[in-house]
Structure 1
Amino acid sequence: MSHPRARVTGMYVEWAANLPHVIAWRSTVPPGCPPTRILPDGCMDLIWHDGAVFIAGPDTTAQLGTATPGSRFFALRFAAGTGPGVLGIPADEFTDQQVPLDAVCPAAEVRALSEAGDPIAALEAFALRRWQQPDPAMVAVAAGARAGRPVGAIADRCGLSPRHLQRRCRSSFGYGPKTLARILRLQTAVALARAGRPFADVSATAGYADQAHLSRDVKALAGVPLRELVV
């Protein structure tokens, strides 16, 4: 399965899905693979894993993923607050949890997904049937947080009071705007570091006060120092 916009890392491949703000990905666990550190990213994933289908809610800290060699994963990752519209449940009901899809969807529909010969096509068809247009305010919130704008400025730009912004963010992303901003800043920092940028440059570009702030925040969210995420 190839795609002109695919990103390949080892046995992992991702590409733009046929829905806005959604990434499709697949992975096969190779022999001798150590546990995978999964960083928080402000997204929800709908995952097919060897015939089981489940929702991976938005994480507040890194999780260690383990699976047997040869296990196959096919999934959709919903960014910009699009997941709750497809699943019909607020994101904060899934924060830091993995929930079987049949807990929120009819068993017959989930069984059809689990038995699909092309899991990605089946997941995309499922999402398309249930698709709701993204909330423009939440798309703007995600973009503002990713750009490092202050939470107050994001609220003003979206015409939301701080309390309203907090409630809408929790429902769309699983946590409030400050946590979302920290997590998206972490994603930016890790991407810059993996691209070979010096850590001092990473801290300034990603919006940290200094390199010590970068180190503390990465360790708090990822559980390991930044250098261990780069190798």
Structure 2
Amino acid sequence: MENSATQGGRYREWRPSAELEDHFRCVWSHEVAPDHEGPIAVVPDGCIDIVWRGGALHVAGPDIEAALPEVSAGADILGLRFQPGAAMHWLGVPIPDLVGNQVPLADLWGPAAVRLADRIAEARTATARLQAFENGLAALSGVRSGPSPDMAFLFERLGQGRASLDTLCAGLGLSPRTLRRRSIETFGYGAKTLERILRFQRFLDRARRSPAAGLAALADAAGYADQAHLSREVKRLSGFSPATVLCQLGC
């Protein structure tokens, strides 16, 4: 979920360790600019993260609109982003309860979360903190199930924009009602909402890849009906106009 429209510093991603790659899609760090003021806009991406910030761990749940967490100037923030559908096997709480919320991991895992946060804080370098973070979660990965293959497939295909929900229902052998229920259980919201969010993410991806493209071309490439459709959806999901989002991306 930590996918910033306005990054306010240096954001980087890496592949997780081999022990974690079935459960987490990336490890990331965000070095907040030393002169940063106010919140950072984090736009919906259909994902859930475990985030270390301010010496504590919390779960950043899936969003349906931009989150605006307050961050301190110069802060170092670390995160591990779950593979689509994996979080439900780790967190022990219904995923819909996490939508739009940031929950202290200690509320879910108790003292184990506090001990892991302390080990991360005790590390002297950014690299060592990331290693402590990964090692702590890797120690738990052997007793966690991976994501459901059919829900991982749903996320992948919706992200690519190459199949309609009706086609996916037929391919997965699920009724529309069952698909919606499974999607809510897995991602926190129904497949139609997930489709909207992943289409928005395609817009961001196309904008980064083709910074000279106009909004009409980006709308078509991302799968919107037209530029007006793009404008409405970007405003609903991010709180910004498409032009402002492109400015923040540096496009």
Is TM more than 0.5 here?
yes
Find the counterpart in structure 1 of residue 217 from structure 2. 201
Find the counterpart in structure 2 of residue 11 from structure 1. 10
Bigger drift between 183-192 and 156-165 goes to 156-165
- Shift of residue 114 of structure 1? 1.2
Given that 1:208 and 1:214 are in contact with CA atoms closer than 8 Å, whether structure 2 keeps it comes out as yes
Find the counterpart in structure 1 of residue 27 from structure 2. 24
Return the alpha-carbon distance in structure 1 between the equivalents of residues 200 and 27 of structure 2: 21
Find the counterpart in structure 2 of residue 5 from structure 1. none
Bigger drift between 95-104 and 197-206 goes to 197-206
Alignment coverage as a number of residue pairs: 223
Which of 52, 55, 59 is equivalent to 1:55? 59
Secondary structure at the aligned position of 2:220 is classed as: helix
Given that 1:30 and 1:69 are in contact with CA atoms closer than 8 Å, whether structure 2 keeps it comes out as yes
Return the alpha-carbon distance in structure 2 between the equivalents of residues 217 and 52 of structure 1: 34
Unmatched tracts of structure 2, length 5 or more: 1-6
1:118-167, CA deviations, whole angstroms, 9 ceiling, x for partnerless residues?
44333333433143222100111101211222112112111111121111
Structure 2 CA distance for partners of 1:59 and 1:70, relative to 1, 3 Å:
same
Return the alpha-carbon distance in structure 2 between the equivalents of residues 143 and 9 of structure 1: 29
Secondary structure at the aligned position of 1:47 is classed as: strand
- 1:142 maps onto 2:142 in alignment: no
Given that 1:58 and 1:173 are in contact with CA atoms closer than 8 Å, whether structure 2 keeps it comes out as yes
1:5-40, CA deviations, whole angstroms, 9 ceiling, x for partnerless residues?
xxx994211112121352110112212224321110
Find the counterpart in structure 2 of residue 4 from structure 1. none
Aligned structure 1 segments of 4 or more residues deviating by more than 6 angstroms: none
- 1:214 maps onto 2:230 in alignment: yes
Unmatched tracts of structure 1, length 5 or more: 1-7
Find the counterpart in structure 2 of residue 82 from structure 1. 86
- Shift of residue 86 of structure 1? 1.8
Given that 1:53 and 1:100 are in contact with CA atoms closer than 8 Å, whether structure 2 keeps it comes out as yes
- 1:183 maps onto 2:197 in alignment: yes
Structure 2 CA distance for partners of 1:151 and 1:111, relative to 1, 3 Å:
same
Bigger drift between 71-80 and 216-225 goes to 71-80
Find the counterpart in structure 2 of residue 160 from structure 1. 174
What code does the residue aligned with 1:80 have? P
What code does the residue aligned with 2:215 have? F
Find the counterpart in structure 1 of residue 245 from structure 2. 229
Given that 1:113 and 1:119 are in contact with CA atoms closer than 8 Å, whether structure 2 keeps it comes out as no
Bigger drift between 93-102 and 194-203 goes to 194-203
Find the counterpart in structure 2 of residue 115 from structure 1. 118
1:155-210, CA deviations, whole angstroms, 9 ceiling, x for partnerless residues?
21111111211111111111000000000000110121233132111111111111
Secondary structure at the aligned position of 2:41 is classed as: strand
What TM-score do you get using the length of structure 2 for normalisation? 0.83
1:85-96 to structure 2, matched below 5 A, reads 85-96=89-100
Which of 45, 51, 56 is equivalent to 2:49? 45
Return the alpha-carbon distance in structure 1 between the equivalents of residues 105 and 194 of structure 2: 24
